[in-house]
Structure 1
Amino acid sequence: MVDFEAIPEVINLFNYLQKEGIDIYFLINEINKALGIKELEPPISHAYSTIGKRTGGIAGFFRDISKVLPFDDYIHIYVQKLKTSPSFVRYINQLKSNNFQQIVNKVYKIKSFQIILDGLKSSGVNTRIVADIMFIVLGITVPASYQDYTYLARTIDDDLLDFLGLIPIEKYNEILLTYLSEDKKVQNAFLYLFTAEFHDQLRAVEALKEFQAFTIYLQKAVLNVIDYIQTFHKAIGMEEYVPPKVDSTFKSQVGVQKIGDGITGMLNDLYDILPLKEIDDLYEEKLQTSKVFADFIAKLKSPDMQKIIDNLYANKTYKEFILKTRAKGLELQELTKLIARIFGLKFPY
């Protein structure tokens, strides 16, 4: 807000709104007080409050809109105001002006503003719609550098979620719960994840320069693997990851599982219900339609990735980690293969 309010064109817009009967300084200062930042001083000629005062024009427009939710009614009022309200026409012209274009240009250069937008985007908010509306209604364009970002902002996580949509989640959960409740080997392997022994082994692997290279490579390939590791740490009761600088009477309705075969049997059962053709079809479609997915796959198949994998697998500490966890019933390599198959990925092994 401090950066935003420091833009001269923003003050020009505030002064215009104040003159037109919208007590914008009162509204902005209420926000500033809530944030604990310096309040703005309105121009002396406009330093009066119009809140609650019936003014018609822009103020009347906003009151009318607040009572009208249907989109067609909104458009109708918008058109009627353009035809009948000179003050509203002046307001729209102000938003179409070079002054407002400069506001948009300068706001999108503010680092803190971009951080906010990135945070909204990562939370699933469609920030692009604002840029679309400004262009369609006002002819205002978002700066090209950020516009490219917003239109290409679909992440590899978005593409991978499309693969998850193909998975019969209820059947998957049913198989997992069945094994957790009835297969002693799976129970022991699962409990092993929460032991100090496993935590020590995992820390040792994460400290390897080979593992750090693996993590950094995937992170740069736009897969947010660091967040996934953080989540896993939290789930098994470990401290925060430092990235490189059920009911026993549960009865299954899926079919006969290989109870007693441990993690291997569970993974086989989970693999058996994968819609492989649909996954492969979506994989090929993504290669043709999603640049971020195609680039990600290219990085996974690259010689650089293969070298990183080879170095990691050749490391003595990593080999000991695999052997010890396998002895406890954790088939981590097989789990990796299953996850890769879910997403149609072809990891080098």
Structure 2
Amino acid sequence: DHYIELIRALFGLTRAARNLQDDLNDFLALIPTDQILAIAMDYLANDAEVQELVAYLQSDDFHKIITTIEGLPEFANFYNFLKEHGLDVADFLNEIHSIIGLPPFVPPSRRHARRGVGINGLIDDVIAILPVDELKALFQEKLETSPDFKALYDAIRSPEFQSIISTLNAMPEYQELLQNLRDKGVDVDHFIELIRSLFGLP
């Protein structure tokens, strides 16, 4: 039975080195798992109220509650906190999804959870899911290992390319565009500085 597998998953979360998982295991060691499983099986098979609860857990109303909670940035932060401290609950949550009829659980790091509004919100949400450290590391690796990439990088930093940038900056139409974005609340200057910092541009 799926619900029995859920209980087993709860008492057998992925084990790791000494961390939150071990702390949890210390508590779980005190729990009579086999007895709990036997009780659960009996109720699931014979109790109308428990069966009614199971039906509710598989309903659209309950699905909406789960998806709303999992879409919160606070949920993502807590999930990542647990994972960083050695407690991987992804399999357990995926088991819940499977049991109640939801699509497979997607960890927050791979999922877009909308947090803001407007253009700034869009930019912030996109930046939030970018693997910045990995991008910087790959950027440095390409500079060292790819002649073509190094040539492109040198071209972007060359006086000729900077002349193009200077010409663009001097255009009234371009400055008007930037000002219009600022007037709409878009932090253009921060975004430009972020790009420069990310890729080491002048």
Into which bin does the TM-score normalised by the smaller protein fall?
0.3 to 0.5
Structure exhibiting the larger radius of gyration computed from Cα positions: 1
Higher relative contact order (CA 8 A, sep 6+): 2
TM-score (norm 1): 0.24
Q: Which has the higher helix share?
A: 2
